[in-house]
Amino acid sequence: MTRHDQIDEELLEEAMDWFLRLREPSRSSSDEQDFTAWIRRSPLHQAAWTKACRTWEVMGETSPVNMPEWQNLRQPRYARPRGIGRRMIIGAGLAALAACLIAIVVGPTILMRSQADYMTATAQVRRVTLEDGTIVDLSATSAIAVDFSDDGRRVKILSGEAFFDVKPDPSRPFIVNVGGELDITVVGTAFDVNVTPQLATVQLAHGAVDLSAPKNGARMKLRPGDFASLDRDSGHLSKSSVDVDAIASWRDGKLFVQDVPISSVVATLQRYHPAWITVASGELGARRVTGLYDLSDPDRALEALVSPYGASVHHVSPYLRVLSLF
């Protein structure tokens, strides 16, 4: 069976070369005939064309190509400057995409590294013991900053997910802060905190937790098995229930999610995947899922996440995955 990730780089380069050739004003009917012959050679040629389309679409270049038989395939609009070769443009386009990904991924990481006391890399899980004896398990691509004093213990989640097993100390409450949007106050308990761009969630394994959301003044108390979710845009705080045994399942290499948007699941899987993952459709990203996914194989997890909705995972390159409904 043909898969997008089995397309060799030479064939993909041919497909991207066709983009530029077919967009030139001097394009002729013989060019269109040659392209049709090329794309008919095998399913791999057709898959390479589709993958190339996805690459340019991610870069914002989308316009239909009006050619017999293949008019429903999408091709980017790109005018080649005079005197510049096609290979140079292809290389420049991919280099620009890589530069964008570096800015998105590396920039925040550098800032976070300067603030964090403890952090993890992609696909790395780490256990740390704080000075008071509290144990913190850090999920992949996560970071925390710690500020302990005589009258209190504060931890700030800079990114990612962490499971806290807090050492009891009634004289010094333990407070976990999420971006100034949510305070989690405990004395001695065990709970999980997960932060994505859309949501901040808290799942309580044992003990008791007080939550407060300064944005709208909402307050909530959690008991074991409670699942609290904060919409980071609206500040809305809601509560549901979860199986205690499923809390922080990522420590065993599994990701359990319950009624959350696909975009939030992708943000979590991103921590375990070396490639950048993007959801091309807002409609797809907003769909809600419940499921259990294998963190040891994030590509397979992505397929399992979106395939029930008829969506696909496009392996554009070793450095990019695009999830889309087409």
pLDDT tens per residue, range 81-91:
444 444 444 44
pLDDT score of 9: 62
Domain locations in the chain?
A: 4-111, 122-248, 253-326
pLDDT score of 3: 44
What is the third-level CATH fold of 253-326?
A: Phage tail protein beta-alpha-beta fold (3.55.50)
Q: What is the mean pLDDT of residues 214-232?
A: 92
Identify each DSSP E strand in the chain by its residue range: 63-64, 74-75, 118-119, 126-129, 135-138, 143-148, 153-165, 174-178, 182-186, 190-195, 199-206, 209-213, 218-222, 226-231, 237-241, 254-261, 276-279, 288-294, 312-317, 320-324
Q: What angle do CA 157, 160, 165 make, to 5 degrees?
A: 65
pLDDT tens per residue, range 113-157:
778 999 999 999 999 999 999 999 999 999 999 999 998 999 999
Give CA–CA dist 217/232, Å, rounded: 14
**Residue 24: which residues within 8 A CB-CB, separation 6 or more?**
80
pLDDT score of 172: 92
pLDDT tens per residue, range 51-92:
776 665 554 444 334 444 444 444 444 344 444 444 444 444
Q: What angle do CA 199, 202, 207 make, to 5 degrees?
A: 170
Instruction: Give the pLDDT band (50/70/90) at residue 180.
Output: confident
The domain 122-248 is classified under which CATH number: 2.60.120.1440, 2.60.200.20, 3.40.50.10490, 2.40.50.140? 2.60.120.1440
Equal CATH topology for 122-248 and 253-326: no
Phi, psi dihedral angles at 202 (to 5 degrees): -130, 130
